[in-house]
Amino acid sequence: MREEGNSPRVARVIVCLVSVGFFVASVAATSANRDGLRHLVVASAILTATLGLHLRHSARPAVRRRKPWWPWSLVAHGALTYVPYGFFQDTWVGIPGSLAAAVLLTTPVPHAWIAFAVLIGLQVPLVLAIGETTGQGLNSAVSHAVGGLALFGVVRLADLAEDLQAARAELARRAVDRERLRFARDLHDLCGYSLTAVALQCEGIQWLVRSDPQRAEEELVRTQALARHALTEVRAVSAGYRVLSLEREARTTAALLESLGVTEHTGPPEPQGLGGSGLRNLRERVAELGGRLSAGADGTGGFRIAVALPCTGHDTPGGVSTVPATPATMPDRSSGRQ
């Protein structure tokens, strides 16, 4: 994993090594001309400046065209590439393809490739102008084309390595966000249902303590069992051993509703506005199965939740039948209505 994380850095190191290799080869070729130490020092200084501009143009995409120094850096690069021909004539080597690669890296497409072709084509008349043969001009053009494409290709590979690393990091971040959302939703559903049931049962026990102590004791035992069950569910989710499904959540909800005395009946669902994390989580789970959920006041002092889910069957055309909605109505404790 650490090696994958270092890939962009290794790619940038390779870019630097390849560029320095072209620079060393140019200095060696200049030294082989045996035109004296002064010539070698001046030529090496120009080549060093050219290398610096090339490395600048080979940096990350966000740096290459940063204002205000670009495009003046490209102009300076061109001057360092062609002006020395006027002083050194046929002994000037330069860094083959450095300017052409810089043009490809900093100029928008398709203008970059047009400029690249023009620069390569100019090598032939330029070499002829300093007294060389046509063959040498073609050789210079090919050298600049190959060198430019090689330098461009190495830099683009480094760019792709950085893009791939960034994409991996983004995918990992999104996966973590999805897992956190799933965990938070499951934990909320488990704790929300159980704690709501415990709270409602405790309210009932509070009223039964004086009027019916025996029943209050029975309800208290049920409440303790529900609290222990909730603790077990929370531990299971936090340990990563359980992922809630709509079916399992529906069974848990039905058991809790039954313990609270909530009635259940069938009928066509009526779309209602809904809010809250618990209902939103339920709607998301139902939507994953292609169903729909509606919830809201039933007009009689209660609260109604209705779910409609499609299921496979053999008694309807196309093999699809619809499960009738099963609303559940919460009781209104203040009025005694369901």
DSSP 3-state assignment of 299?
coil
Query: Of 2-6, 37-41, 137-141, 226-230, where does mean pLDDT reach its minimum?
Result: 2-6
Distances (CA, A) of 27 to 41, 91, 137: 10, 12, 20
User: Higher model confidence: residue 4 or residue 311?
Assistant: 311
pLDDT band at 116 (very low <50, low <70, confident <90, very high): very high
| pLDDT for 170 beyond 90 | yes
Mean pLDDT over residues 311-338, rounded? Answer: 45
Q: What per-residue confidence (pLDDT) applies to 270?
A: 44
Length of the chain (residues): 338
Task: Report how far residue 227's alpha carbon sits from residue 2's, in angstroms, rounded to the nearest whole number.
Answer: 45
User: Higher model confidence: residue 83 or residue 321?
Assistant: 83
Q: What per-residue confidence (pLDDT) applies to 267?
A: 47
Can you tell me which residue has the tokens 């082989």?
A: 32
Mean pLDDT over residues 187-209, rounded? Answer: 80
Q: What per-residue confidence (pLDDT) applies to 19?
A: 92
DSSP 3-state assignment of 337?
strand
- Hey, what amino acid is at 270? E
Helix 134-211 and helix 111-129, axial crossing angle in degrees, nearest 10: 160
Print the SS3 string covering 233-255: HHHHHHCCCCCCCHHHHHHHHHH
Neighbours of 208 (CB within 10 A): 17
Mean pLDDT over residues 115-144, rounded? Answer: 90
User: Higher model confidence: residue 247 or residue 135?
Assistant: 135
| pLDDT for 149 beyond 90 | yes
Mean pLDDT over residues 292-315, rounded? Answer: 75
| pLDDT for 8 beyond 70 | yes
pTM summary value: 0.59
Q: Give the mean pLDDT of the chain.
A: 78
Q: What per-residue confidence (pLDDT) applies to 308?
A: 85
Q: What per-residue confidence (pLDDT) applies to 314?
A: 47
Query: Of 18-27, 67-76, 132-141, 309-318, where does mean pLDDT reach its minimum?
Result: 309-318
Mean pLDDT over residues 143-151, rounded? Answer: 93
Q: What per-residue confidence (pLDDT) applies to 336?
A: 40
Task: Report how far residue 253's alpha carbon sits from residue 197's, in angstroms, rounded to the nearest whole number.
Answer: 10
Q: What per-residue confidence (pLDDT) applies to 238?
A: 67
Q: What per-residue confidence (pLDDT) applies to 257?
A: 63
CB 317 within 8 A of CB 283: no
Q: What per-residue confidence (pLDDT) applies to 148?
A: 93
DSSP 3-state assignment of 88?
helix
Q: What per-residue confidence (pLDDT) applies to 273?
A: 44
| pLDDT for 202 beyond 80 | yes
Q: What per-residue confidence (pLDDT) applies to 247?
A: 64
User: Which run of H or E residues covers position 174?
Assistant: helix 134-211
Query: Of 155-159, 168-172, 288-292, 332-336, where does mean pLDDT reach its minimum?
Result: 332-336
- Residues 217-265 have pLDDT tens digits of 888 888 888 888 778 777 776 666 555 555 666 666 666 666 556 555 5
pLDDT band at 21 (very low <50, low <70, confident <90, very high): very high
Query: Of 115-119, 149-153, 245-249, 270-274, where does mean pLDDT reach its minimum?
Result: 270-274
Mean pLDDT over residues 84-106, rounded? Answer: 86
